[in-house]
Amino acid sequence: MDRLKHTSALLLLLLLISAPTAQGQDVESTWKKIKAWPKQFISKFKEKPQLTGGINTLFTYNYINGIPQRDNPFNYQLNASLNLKIGGMSIPFSTNFSNGQFVYNYSLPPIKLPSYNFTGFSPSYKWATLHVGDRNMTFSPYTLSGHNFRGIGTELKPGKFRFAAMYGRLQRARPEDLANPNNLEPLYKRRGWGVSIGYEGENDNVKLILFQAKDDTTSIPNIQFNEEVKPTDNTVVSLVGKKKISEKLTVEGDYAYSAFTRDIYAPMVTNDVNIGQRVFGLFDPRVSSSYNFALKTSLNLKLGFGDIAVNHERVTPGYRTLGALFFNDDFENFTVSANAGMFDKKVILSSNLGIQRNNIKNTADNTLTRVVGSLNLTYTPSEKVNINASYSNFRNTNRIRTTVIPLIQIDSIKLSQVNQNANLAISYITGEEKNIMFNGIFAFQNSNTIENETVDPNQSNTSYMANLMHTYLFTESKLKLTGAVLANYSELPIAKSLSIAPTFSFGMPLLEEKMNITGGASYVYVNVIDAGQPNHLLTLQSNVQYKFHKKQSTGLVMNYVNKVSGDGIAPDFQEFTARLTYSFNF
């Protein structure tokens, strides 16, 4: 607790140091701009409105033989992305419409998707922006960090002052369904709101953030079997500051305090509760409540050869914000990062090296201290050769969309925590007209699946990938030929697999580049080790795009898949898909 108080005092001092000396002049200047805004807004309405954007249509035919149907035989979709400029305002708007596709599952009845999807719009006028519909906003990494919501928000940037606010639904309700074989956990409807107020000058930045989210206990019937699912409540207060001390030295700080209730049904705590636990009356402390903080500071120094930064990040165990999908906690990092260009900028180096430890509050059984770091090196010895290598063992969270259906939004996001990753990319260009290219990509990654906001140590995935590609361009006809081989080896908890996929593709413009034709073929060999005979997959694809008007174009994409299963378990199948598109831009 003493360390928390000392840290808070240091950040408060940073805020006081960052107080702009010309704040009075900035307030006066900003107020003049605000008063002049209505007259300017009215005068802008005399200008002719402008509508820009595009309309895209898609017609799909699908035929499959050998396995149950997994798509409608016929589908159509319409997407409109419009931007209306009127009265000096810019009002972007997008929407989707379809015939209402079905999602097919081998063991479940087809699920009807909505035929109409309202995305939202974000009109803006000078320094003001309004968000309506399905949007996302970011206040800071420890508060509201890119979380999607359906509601309303605003961003105001008059002069050097900054204001942002949002209110909306962060999570839709999903009642308990005991008849669903997928065993999807129930979800309470979650609503949230947040406010960010700050000042952004040339040498001084500071902002204060308040974010609150709470589950609606009446949004779903009483839970009978998934008793571990509880309605939650969260209030976060954050202070972010940045001070440019000199042309070469900058100090940054980000502090967040989170009050989190794991179960709203738990009894309230009324005795011995301080103002910090109540968060100035915005939070109701309960028996299941916890109070934690996150802190990140950095000292940045610009030198003649590059930049150096000393960084410290500390997140106490149990820290959570409902404004982010997932958040790592119980760790402390001390790192030094550097960016430099060497040998006439032929070598670009970015590195971050330090120490990480867990068990911040000494409440865990084991304490782990490890070296963490990341390295990114780019070497360009000549115009023909480029080499890039990178490695990192910092843990980060990736979003994986498991179901992708064009123009239809589905809640099908999975999370994974990447523990280690390494990449090597090499490219070589030759030929008199630089029309011959060789590329090689090699990658390694180790990750764990995140389930129910917890990293599952039993769901580890290690993969190795190599991709070799050669491209030849005929400069006169602009015919491009590409051959490649992709190999991937994966180690999952239940199996190990090896896949090898040679591919060939071509592309060529015609009719004075109004038409573009591409096509290709690939063969995939998949062997699940110690699981029988390998599987084989052949794919053929062709794509014709024709721009018959400067604002209109059409296209036809055809795809054929033939799978032969050698294990005798999964059935063989053939699938043909054709997609006809039309686009109108204005």
What's CA 371's distance to the chain center, in Å? 27
Per-residue pLDDT of 210-263, as tens digits, reads 999 999 999 988 887 788 889 999 999 999 999 999 999 999 999 999 999 999
Specify the 3-state DSSP secondary structure of 75: strand
Torsion of CA 221, 222, 223, 229, to 10 degrees: 90
pLDDT score, position 542: 96
Specify the 3-state DSSP secondary structure of 491: strand
pLDDT score, position 93: 72
Per-residue pLDDT of 532-556, as tens digits, reads 778 899 999 999 999 999 899 999 9
Average the pLDDT over 274-282 and give the result: 83
> Could you count the other beta carbons within 10 Å of the beta carbon of residue 547?
16
Burial class (CB in 10 A: 0-12, 13-18, 19+), 213: buried
Amino acid at 58: L
Residue 14 — pLDDT band, cuts 50, 70, 90?
A: very low
What's the N-to-C CA distance of the chain in angstroms? 60
Instruction: Name the more confident of 416 and 119.
Output: 119
pLDDT score, position 436: 95
Distance CA 252, CA 235 (A): 24
Residue 264 scores a pLDDT above 60: yes
Instruction: Name the more confident of 363 and 29.
Output: 363
Residue 59 — pLDDT band, cuts 50, 70, 90?
A: very high
Residue 447 scores a pLDDT above 70: yes
Q: Rg (Cα) of the chain, in Å, rounded?
A: 28
pLDDT score, position 20: 47
Residue 488 scores a pLDDT above 90: yes
Distance CA 556, CA 581 (A): 6
Average the pLDDT over 560-567 and give the result: 86
Share of the chain above pLDDT 70, in %: 81
Share of the chain above pLDDT 90, in %: 50
Residue with tokens 């974000």: 122
Distance CA 478, CA 63 (A): 34
Residue 25 scores a pLDDT above 60: no
Distance CA 571, CA 264 (A): 49
Tell me the Ramachandran region of residue 306: left when phi exceeds 0, alpha when psi lies from -120 to 50, beta otherwise: left
Residue 42 — pLDDT band, cuts 50, 70, 90?
A: low
Among 296, 292, 280, 281, which residue's Cα sits nearest to residue 321? 292
Distance CA 522, CA 82 (A): 38
Amino acid at 129: T
The answer to whether the CB of 261 falls within 8 A of the CB of 268 is no
Among 137, 122, 136, which residue's Cα sits nearest to residue 91? 122
Residue 387 scores a pLDDT above 90: yes
Copy the structure tokens of residue 33.
């701009």
Per-residue pLDDT of 183-212, as tens digits, reads 568 889 999 999 999 999 888 999 999 999
Distance CA 177, CA 220 (A): 11
Average the pLDDT over 164-172 and give the result: 94
